[in-house]
Structure formats: C-alpha cells, structure tokens
Amino acid sequence: MCHPTLRAWAVLCLFAAVAAAQPPANRPVIRVSQPNPTQDKPQSKLWFAQGSWWAWLPDRGGSGIWRRTAAGWQRDSELDGVLRGLPGQADVWADGETVRAVLVESRRLAVVGLRFEARLGRYRPTGDAAVHDVGPGLETATIARDGRGRWWIAYAEGRQMWVRVSQDRAGKVWTPPIAVSQEPASEDDICAITAMPGGVAVLWSNQATETVYFRRHDDRAKAEVWADPEVVDRGNRTADDHLNTAVGRDGTLYLASKNSVDRIGHTQLVLHIRDPRGRWKSHPYAPRTALAEPSRPIVLLGGDEERYFLLHTMYDRREGQPSQSWIARQTALDREAQALISAGTRINNVTGCKAGLPAGAPWIVLASDHEGNVYEARLD
C-alpha cells in the first residue's frame, strides 16, 4: 500500500500538472451575442480565401461573416441584412471564390451561397437561401460538394440519418430527404457528411447498437443509391455523438470521435483512419483522469506531408474548482496533449477549416465560451 505522504505528494503533482498544462489566459478576438458560437461538433466555421481567414458565426437574429485582418477580426456588416432571420449555426464549405454554408436551428435548415467580388474586396450573396423545414430538436447539420458540383447536406432527425442533394449547381432545387441509416439510433446521435474522391460519405454514431458507421455514395449513382454501410467500430461503448472528419489528398479519411466509456483511467477519444483501399483502423487516445476529462475532438490536416492535428476540450474536474475547461492539441497519438487555449472559464467547441491548412499562412483555430467570447490560437 502506498504511504500516505507519498500518496499526498502524488496528488499534488497531478494537480500541478493540470495547472501547468494550461497556457496563459487568451483574450477574446470576437464577441457575439450568442453563447458558444463555435459549436457544433462536426461543423467547420473557418475558411481561408483571398489571402485571409474568414469565420461564419451566429449572432442575434442570424449570423455574421468575419475577416481576420492586421487590425484584428472585422465583421462584414454589409451581409447582416442578407443573413438576418435565417438560422445562425453554420457549417462552411469554401472553394476558390465561392462559399456555401448550411445554417441550423431547431426546426429549420438553410443553405446560403456567397461569391467573392474582387472589385469590392468582399463577399456577395449568390441568390436567395434554400430553406428546409425539419422536425423538432435538430442539433446539427453539415455540407459537402461532390465531384459533379452538387451540394449535399446531412443531418439526424427522428433517430435516423438523412441527406438531401441539390438538383442544380446553384443549390436552389433540392431532393426530398433520403434516409442513409438502416436502423434507429438514439435521440442523441448525429451524423456528418464529407467529400471523398469520386463521391461523398456519411458517418454517424449509433449509441443504441454501440456502432460507428460509414456509408458512401458514388458520383455516378442516383441520389438514393448508396453502397452498403461499413462498420467503423463496434462494441465496448465506442459510439457517442462527437464526430469530426478530414480527408487527405490521397483519399485517406480521418474521423475523430468520442466514446461513451466515460471512466477514469480509460481513453476517451478515438482516431479512426480509413485508408484509400477502404481498410479501417481505430486508435484510442486521450485518457480520462480524476482531474481532467477530454471531449469534443476535431482533426485537421496541414503541410506537404499532411500532418494531422488532434484538438479537443479538456474539462477541469478538480473538486472545489470553478467550472472551467481549455482546448488541448495533440500532434501524435503517442504524445501528451498540450494546452492551446485557456481563459480561466469554460471554453469549448474548437473549430477549424474543412480544407487542408493553407501553405504560406498562419494555421489557426477558434473556440468560444458561454458568454459569446471567441478565442483564437495558432497551430504553427
């Protein structure tokens, strides 16, 4: 049995390690009226275009577009009127001069397009938003574009996973909902859609069967025709409603997820990798301790060799401490996580870009708190 003095010393060392893991407090770079504006788990709020970083964030009555400049983040107020009255929680797809986002609220989805006007130095709307009514309790949705230029959105509703696809490149005419899942999930489960070479794929959690699924659609197939589902991982409480994806240039798919083990001494997060031949491997990481709990992971890719970055929230679980958390970064599965963003409060929902991190520009991520403060950190 451990001597009481040694045990007390070990506890003190663990407390010191948690405290030392947190960097000096960051200051907010953006402030909006909505709590936790960088949520939700599978969504990307950032993109890099025209030599600048941009962010699409919710605000009172809609959402706003922000540009990172030498003088700090600045809001494009000219777009406020276009976005007023629409849902505000965005997942963003950006490519060259065009941007398209799916916007989410409890019972509605809207898909909005923007195009950069070089002579004005700013984005302009490409047309009216396509608005879709859905059932109550919608948590999140994601967007992707396939090789034929069609837009896809994916979301969970009524314990099933659904997609819709645009029937024109302008994104004005859409199919009715198409079911992707084949068995009921829990009310808490979500999905995410991602572009793959030659098609798109939907990934989702099913906590009722303890399974994470992947299902692919080929660009040449009809919208309702999908390949058989693949099991990413199954059993041992592997599923939870935390999913985030990145795809490499060679078609390798990275899926960062959280499991439902939720026990001290067990790894809490998993990096699933699907190689270009369709083979899956799952790599657990980030153990839960009595002092800190990892959650809400994302994965980003950057550099010529497409190095991956794993980022997640760390909740402080020390007894008697105020509720707070920080954002941690991990650059390899066998390395310890390093604190990246901290402000002495509950920071959550780190978000990045869908595309690979840009060459010749700073690599940044954002996270936020319940008061609408948004914080920035550089990965490089």
Evaluate the CA torsion angle 176, 180, 183, 187 in order and state its sign.
negative
Q: What is the pLDDT at residue 169?
A: 77
Q: Are strands 151-157 and 191-196 parallel, antiparallel or unpaired?
A: unpaired
Residues of the chain with pLDDT under 50: 1-20
Q: Is residue 30 part of a domain?
A: no
Q: In angstroms, rounded to a whole number, what is the distance separating the alpha carbons of residues 210 and 240?
A: 8
Residue 134 lies in a domain: no
How many domains are contained in the chain? 1
The pLDDT assigned to 14 comes to 38
Asked, for residue 236, whether it belongs to a domain, the answer is: no
**Confidence (pLDDT) at 22:** 53
359 burial class (0-12, 13-18, 19+ CB within 10 angstroms)? exposed
Is 153 part of any domain? Answer: no
Cβ atoms of 201 and 213 closer than 8 Å: no
pLDDT in tens, 282-305: 999 999 999 999 999 999 999 998
Q: Is residue 274 part of a domain?
A: yes
Residue pair 236/261 in contact (Cβ under 8 Å)? The answer is yes
Place of tokens 């919710």: 58
Based on its alpha-carbon atoms, the radius of gyration of the chain, rounded to whole angstroms, reads: 21
pLDDT of residue 279: 97
Length of the chain: 380
User: How confident is the model at residue 3, as a pLDDT?
Assistant: 40
Residue 259 near residue 268 (C-beta atoms within 8 A): yes
In a domain, 250, yes or no: yes
User: How high is the pLDDT of residue 380?
Assistant: 82
279: in domain: yes
Domain assignment of residue 130, yes or no: no
> Which residue segment(s) compose the domain that 309 sits in?
242-380
pLDDT in tens, 22-42: 555 789 999 999 999 999 999
